[in-house]
Chains A and B, each alone.
Chain A
Amino acid sequence: MQNIRNFSIIAHIDHGKSTLADRFIQHCGALTEREMADQVLDSMDLERERGITIKSQSVSLDYKAKNGASYQLNLIDTPGHVDFGYEVSRSLAACDGALLVVDASQGVEAQSVANCLTAVDLDLEILPVLNKIDLPSSDPERVLQEIEEIIGIDTTNTVQVSAKTGLGVEALLEQIIEVIPPPSGSEDAPLRALIIDSWFDNYLGVVSLVRVVDGCLPAGKKMRVMSTGRDHLVDEVGVFTPKRHAQKVLKTGQVGYVISGIKDLGGAPVGDTLTLVEDPASEALTGFQEIKPKVFAGMYPVDSSDYEAFRDALTKLKLNDASLHFEPETSQALGFGFRCGFLGMLHMEIIQERLEREYDMSLIITAPTVVYEVETTNGEVLTVDNPAKLPPSDKIKEIREPIIYADILVPQDYLGNVISLCIEKRGVQKKLQYLGNQISLGFELPMSEVVLDFFDRLKSASRGYASFDYNFLRFQASSLVKLDILINGDRVDALSIITHQEQSRNRGHELTAKIKEFIPRQMFDVAIQAAIGSKILSRHSVKALRKNVTAKCYGGDISRKRKLLEKQKAGKKRMKKFGSVEIPQDAFMAILHVGRNR
């Protein structure tokens, strides 16, 4: 146990977390050169394409230290995007220490601060690492000062590395052994293993990543999932190196996987405790808070006959993503679908892409919304996650929207831009503090303003330098209205949004203008109107196509002309029909494109 080190890497996107992890793997010889596809830990195609980590992953490495002893290093990789913050805290709970990786030229970012503070709360030993020191723009002195000032941790142990070139990586490994404490736990006590993550494998069933806190977990024995009281035979235990590597037993302090023939994720909930049937522990470990979705959107199959297939696809995705919520809903416009809950916009995009790529679904997604609290005139309080479900305005006493507290770190040069952005988004400034070259801003903002495009806008307002993290604060009454969209006079429920009274006129104008861009010209004029109740706020129209005829067709090779017609038809199939108007999928997401050029 003394030779085990469990640690995780905290870093902002692009600060080189995955590259550093790859270096460790390479240095410890866990994979041959050939097996080293870049960034091996990001195993989903999507992760690699987007250069982000979505799911936590772990890898066990054997490291032969300079003192001659061999150490088992368990690295738990963590996601870096704000949407997936909950996975970070879970991963951290399995560790005894954490590397805080900071880009030596970019400096500390809000995301890392938040995650680092979580680690401090969990009593983890934090080892600062300055990465990318090979870049000419790196400024270690300044960044170290930032770490001390902003996060408030000691930086004497800091290691300077370049994950890209491999410079300093060995020194870092030595320092990990030196600084990060070995796990503490009782080898003799009954088994208690914390489930850090569970996922579904088509061949193996549920695979759980666990940390053995007390006792040991051998293969072949019966284990009990403490919350459900269910017993399962342990088929296999082992570690990822990062290849799956079976072992006889997971010992105290180790991080590894368990396979036990559990068929669904509910059978091995994250944060639960495993013990042995023959010698059960009396008390479970403290688990994790269940994470609640923040953004909701309706998802509908374009072809209504795909509904069942869609349900299957969602169910399968949920096997691997406990944070995805969905329940059936119907829309007058779109028919049968599901209201889905996501952690944030990135999460939503990823789910959408996975459904389209891995399950070949063609989907319409409605404008994302947050959850509102509505107090009716008869004193009832409703939770509304769908604008179409808002009661009639004469039945509403007040609508309360979720307010978040945003921590923003921004270099001085962009302070003005960022403040204007926050004010535009109805923010109220709570804090402004100078920290070295950066400024720490605190704003209270309506969550609805943050989930849509705030992150992108913040990035462009600061040329990518500002970073932020947020927490839910409270529900707060606000003058909110439902803005409806009418297509050729018919209200399309799936296009309704909830918006602030003062912004409604602008929103209506921008939204109808945007929807206009998405609707192709067709045989008739299409009028797009925005309305509150019966009051029309704005109108745009798509002029009818003058004609749609192929000029020439003389026998010969008509196959290309045929393909064009078939393509046109296929395009129409991907659209939804409202009366005689055909609306493409993208139009339902127009709200996300307001203020951007296509």
Chain B
Amino acid sequence: MLSFETNPPLSLYIHLPWCVKKCPYCDFNSHAINKEAFPEAAYIDALISDLESELPRIWGRPIGSIFIGGGTPSLFSAEAINRLMVALRERLTFYHHIEVTMEANPGTAEVERFKAYRESGINRLSIGVQSFNDEKLKVLGRIHNSTEAKAAVAMAKDAGFDEINIDLMFGLPEQSIDEAMSDLEMAMEQQPSHLSWYQLTIEPNTIFYSKPPVLPDDDLLWSMQKQGQAYLSDSGFSQYEVSAYARHGTTGVDHQCKHNLNYWQFGDYLGIGAGAHGKLTHVAEGKIERYARHRIPQSYIEKITQKNAITETRSLNRDELPLEFMMNALRLNEGFHPSLFIENTGLPLSDIQKPLQEAEKKSMIEWNINKIKPTEFGRRYLNDLIQFFIK
């Protein structure tokens, strides 16, 4: 049995699984939309019953952040999103400074709709730009072009969003270092508050996996990353996680993504929607459980009415918790306070004494009473570092 003083912070993830079309690199649970048979209302209903059936599990716990992801959530009408937000507020306690992010794609952006989203309580938009190069966008199977991408960010600003993230990739098929840098420069010109800048990786069950494109080699990728990071730092963006960069805030304002930070700090999250995953701590029972739901939207909707949307519940055991914690927490440039491990895994620090020492010996972490932090070397070979924690 694990031993907890109190519950970790709780977030809510809501999955909206439709896209205009499926991109060749995407391995998320997303499905091409059929406009005639788009069950928008039924899906919102399903989400609300899904949430209701979960309420007993999270009774009394305030929500620190919400992330509406996909898919392309911006395919949903303002009315639908508003109905969802109202339902959430009626049933959950929100922290005063709650962060509510929604993902939007430039091909589906409309300023009026963005305004309505903002009014319904969404306060952060994450825009899936991926690249500002039209040719690359085509290769990536995106439905937008560079002009639309820029317009989408402008619309978000017009609609009143202060917190705007741009999702951008590097290491695109046949990308040169100049092209990668030019993408970053364009992104900076749009003045977002946050940038997710991550390397394209080929995942199983994608079109790119079966027909691999020619990607830049290791050396080139490394140069892109080094040069890009230096440029972002000069542009006032600091990296706080492997692929996450936040604009330096004015006093008291922090532009880091609270929702993702909660994942990386091994907080709890409730996941609702088709294929959503959740992780919840049960203080009284001394256990941490992971849940998964039906992936196919239609069967998810059907199963919800039968109160039977969960396909898998798994209790994490003592041996696997250190790994799961480190897979997340060591992604943070600043690492974590040792007490975070104790609080959020329910394990004593002695459980990871040995791997910590090994990692320290290899100069992959710095470790003192107040901090466990990956070194630059540790961040560079993060997978090797994390492997110390596999039992």
Contacts and interface: CB of A to CB of B under 8 A. Distances in A.
A546 interface: yes
A547 B380 contact: yes
Nearest to B217: A546
A569 B385 CA distance: 11
Interface of A is mostly: loop
Given A547-B222, A566-B390, A558 B381 contact: no
A548 B218 contact: no
Interface string A549-582: 1111111111011100110110010000000000
Contact of A546 (B198, B222, B379, B386): B222
Contacts of A568: 383-384, 387
A551 to B, nearest CB: 4
A291 interface: no
A553 B331 contact: yes
Interface in B158-213: 198-201, 204
Nearest to B267: A555
A565 B391 CA distance: 12
B324 A558 contact: yes
Contact-size category for A = 20 to 34
Interface string B243-265: 10000000000000000101110
Interface residues of B, number: 38
Contacts of A554: 260, 263
A428 interface: no
Interface string B117-134: 000000000000000000
A473 interface: no
B277 A551 contact: no
B292 interface: yes
B386 A547 contact: no
| Centre residue among B221, B327, B383 by max chain A CB count within 10 A | B383
B215 interface: no
B114 interface: no
Nearest to B260: A554
Contacts of B157: none
A551 B327 contact: no
Contacts of B264: 553
B323 interface: yes
Interface in B355-391: 379-384, 386-387, 390
Nearest to A566: B390
Nearest to A561: B327
Given A546-B221, A546-B222, A551-B201, A556 B260 contact: no
Nearest to A557: B277
Contacts of A553: 242, 263-264, 327-328, 331
A523 interface: yes
Nearest to B169: A551
Nearest to B377: A523
A545 interface: yes
Contacts of A547: 222, 225, 380-381
Contacts of B225: 547
B13 interface: yes
Contact of A548 (B292, B327, B382, B390): B382
A565 B218 contact: no
B219 interface: yes
B18 interface: no
Contacts of B336: none
B323 A548 contact: no
B387 A565 contact: yes
Contacts of B327: 553, 558, 561-562, 565
A545 B263 contact: no
Nearest to B15: A556
Nearest to B387: A569
B341 interface: no
Nearest to B242: A549
Given A557-B292, A562-B323, A549 B387 contact: no
A546 B383 CA distance: 12
B277 A548 contact: no
B243 A572 contact: no
Contacts of A569: 387, 390
A422 B217 CA distance: 43
A552 B243 contact: yes
B269 interface: yes
B13 A555 contact: yes
Nearest to A521: B218
B335 interface: no
A548 B324 contact: no
Contacts of B379: 549
Q: Which of A552, A555, A557 has the most CB of B within 10 A?
A: A555
24 contacts: A545-B218, A546-B221, A546-B222, A547-B222, A547-B381, A548-B384, A549-B242, A549-B380, A550-B201, A551-B199, A552-B201, A552-B243, A553-B327, A553-B328, A555-B13, A555-B263, A556-B276, A556-B277, A557-B277, A557-B292, A560-B204, A561-B327, A565-B390, A568-B387
Given A548-B381, A555-B271, 9 more contacts: A549-B379, A551-B242, A552-B198, A553-B331, A555-B328, A556-B271, A557-B292, A558-B324, A565-B323
3 nearest CB pairs, A to B: A555-B263, A546-B222, A548-B383
